[in-house]
Amino acid sequence: MDKYNYIFNCIYTLTNIGIFYYQNHELKAVKKGIDYNPIQDSPGFCEMLIEFADNQDMPVVYQDSFQVLYICIKEEMYYLFGPISLSNMNKIELHNYYQAYGINSQRERKLPLLLFSKAVALIGMITKIILDKEYTAEELIQGNHMAEQLEKNIEQEQILFQIREEALQLNMRIDVTTGRMSRIEKSHWKNVVTVSIAMCTRAAVEGGISPKEAYQISDFYLQKSDECKSVSELIALRNRAVRDLTERVSKKKSNQKKSNYVERCKDYISKHYREKIYLKDIAEVMGIGSTYLSRLFSEETGICIQDYIAQCRVDKAANLLAYSEESIAFIAEYVNFPSQSYFGNVFKKYKQMTPREYREKYKTAEFVTTKQKIFTEK
């Protein structure tokens, strides 16, 4: 570690990026950087980066949903760097970032900011220093499945653009082909806007938006149309309503696809909780990248996959504590905790009591004296 001290101090001085190392199941900060750093302060996040590093040959470059990068390099120990923000977040975005990592603080600091090209150059330099290996920007992007997410984002934007353009073209045809609905120009366009919004609302319902949501949006824009003072304002309002509805349809379809991945992930964990679960194995079953799956899961559930696995095992153990007479040590091993002491610590984290306290509190009467053998799962 000492051989990199000078280099790491220079990197920190230039970038203010947090720098850590992980060895013998212990995380230590060389430079923490921001006051509240997810690498150190968000449960399970460091372990997730470590698991990524164990499952691939090249350095881990993890990009979260806030366009923030984290780096993990495996040598004799693990070196972790971050966060590195690729965009200058406003106060609301920054607050959402801290909330997503479970970091509640009145002192939400700006993150170190780097252009993507400079961030990749920094990663390449650090990798060369630690591993004496060189990786191109393309190799780092492809190897960490970042291109996959970029392609999905582009595909989604293209779908949204197509939906929006088709809706706007339909409304332009209505503008041209609809007969006069009033001799007064403004009244005519007010009626055109009403018809257009009504058609788009029905299309939005067919696209998956709930009728309640769609018609609430429709009512809002129809009421706003009463306030328009000119034809140009009416047309601008109509186009805004179209964009709003089409974007909601697109987001709905995207979330449905994401939720399918997350539900399948939960199902896999429920079936394999007694085994050692690797993120890459779940991702391979689903046919997507492990980094992408991890990001989706965190976005939709608010916790990382590793924490969900621990929570699932604790829930299974709690059921066994209440409905069996097996020893706590046996139950800990059965649900795949490496030791009884570690099991106790994790159990207390989620249930706010020790396994023994839980058993005493929730033990059902019929199991108090009768030893039950319920372990029939495969």
CA 242 to CA 312: how far, in whole Å? Answer: 43
Cα–Cα dist 304/313, whole Å: 15
Give me the pLDDT at residue 328, please: 93
Spans of the chain, pLDDT less than 70: 1-2, 104-107, 147-186, 188, 253-259, 364-378
Please give the Cα distance from 141 to 138 (Å, whole number): 5
Contact 72, 79 (CB under 8 A): yes
Token reading at 234: 């009416």
SS3 category, 364: coil
Tell me what pLDDT residue 78 has.
Answer: 94
Distance CA 337, CA 331 (A): 9
Q: Are 75 and 131 in contact (CB under 8 A)?
A: yes
Query: What sign has the CA pseudo-torsion 99, 104, 108, 110?
Result: negative
The dihedral sign for the CA sequence 69, 72, 73, 78: positive
Task: Judge whether 202 and 193 are in contact, CB under 8 Å.
Answer: no
Residue 280, C-beta contacts closer than 8 angstroms, at least 6 positions apart = 55, 290
**pLDDT value at residue 378:** 40
Please give the model's pTM, rounded to 2 decimal places: 0.47
Q: Which of 319, 302, 322, 311 is nearest to 362 (CA)?
A: 322
Instruction: Return the pLDDT at 166.
Output: 52
The pair of three-digit structure tokens given for residue 213, joined into one six-digit string: 């949501």
Domain 306-367 has CATH 1.10.10.60: yes
Structural tokens at position 318: 């709690």
Residue ranges per structural domain of the chain:
2-144, 151-253, 306-367
Q: What is the CA radius of gyration of the chain?
A: 27
**In this structure, which amino acid lies at residue 346?**
V
At 57 the pLDDT is 83
Strands 26-31 and 68-74: unpaired
Write down the pLDDT at residue 159.
Answer: 46
Q: Which residues pair with 19 in a beta bridge?
A: 31, 81
